[in-house]
């Protein structure tokens, strides 16, 4: 129905953000984190990761700051529950190959579940001991408006910690 969102990746990036999969609005307009309740772009700015507040339509501009974007599963869905095992069976190895090619300094998973599917085991939020290739790993709480497990200020705190952790 909608085309997959393009990866915004290249070698030499400081950080690649990995989302779970695009929601319907992101898929419809062709840009990352476009859901009405998604705080991703606000958190990037408020944490100091970007000097200006970008919009979903400016997602490609993240490359100028040394940041990339991709998803674990490229197929859009209304919710995670609409995905099936085959989506992960195809998505995980494809993502691993992309990340190994790009070899960023660090990878930030936007959502604990995305990282758990990627690694195949449970995880906690924050900096991880594990690495992927040469990349350090950080797990953020999902910025989706549907993620009510943490308050806005708690989620923002993880983005601020990510900014400090990047150095």
Domain ranges of the chain: 15-166
Token pair recorded at residue 119: 């690694």
pLDDT band of 20, cuts 50, 70, 90: very high
Dmax (CA) for the chain in angstroms is 41
What pLDDT is recorded for position 80?
76
Q: How far apart are CA 126 and CA 123, in angstroms?
A: 9
Q: Are 104 and 15 in contact (CB under 8 A)?
A: yes
What pLDDT is recorded for position 81?
74
**Nearest Cα to Cα of residue 17 among 9, 28, 25:** 9
pLDDT in tens, 69-111: 999 999 988 877 788 888 888 999 999 999 999 999 999 999 9
- Which of 3.90.78.10, 3.20.20.70, 3.40.470.10, 2.60.120.620 would CATH assign to domain 15-166? 3.40.470.10
Token pair recorded at residue 75: 């197929």
């Amino acid at each position: 129905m909608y085309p997959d969102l393009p990866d915004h990746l290249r070698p030499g990036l400081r950080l690649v953000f990995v989302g779970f999969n695009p929601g319907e609005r992101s898929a419809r307009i062709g840009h990352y984190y476009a859901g009405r309740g998604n705080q991703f772009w606000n958190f990037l700015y408020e944490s100091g990761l970007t000097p200006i507040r970008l919009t979903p339509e400016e997602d490609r501009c993240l490359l100028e700051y040394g940041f990339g974007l991709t998803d674990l599963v490229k197929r859009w869905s209304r919710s995670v529950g609409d995905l099936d095992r085959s989506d992960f069976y195809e998505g995980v190895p494809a993502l691993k190959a992309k990340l190994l090619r790009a070899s960023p300094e660090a990878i930030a998973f936007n959502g604990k579940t995305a990282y758990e599917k990627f690694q195949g085991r449970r995880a906690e939020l924050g900096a991880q001991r594990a690495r992927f290739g040469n990349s350090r790993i950080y797990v953020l709480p999902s910025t989706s408006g549907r993620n009510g497990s943490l308050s806005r200020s708690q989620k923002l705190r993880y983005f601020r910690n990510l900014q400090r952790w990047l150095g």
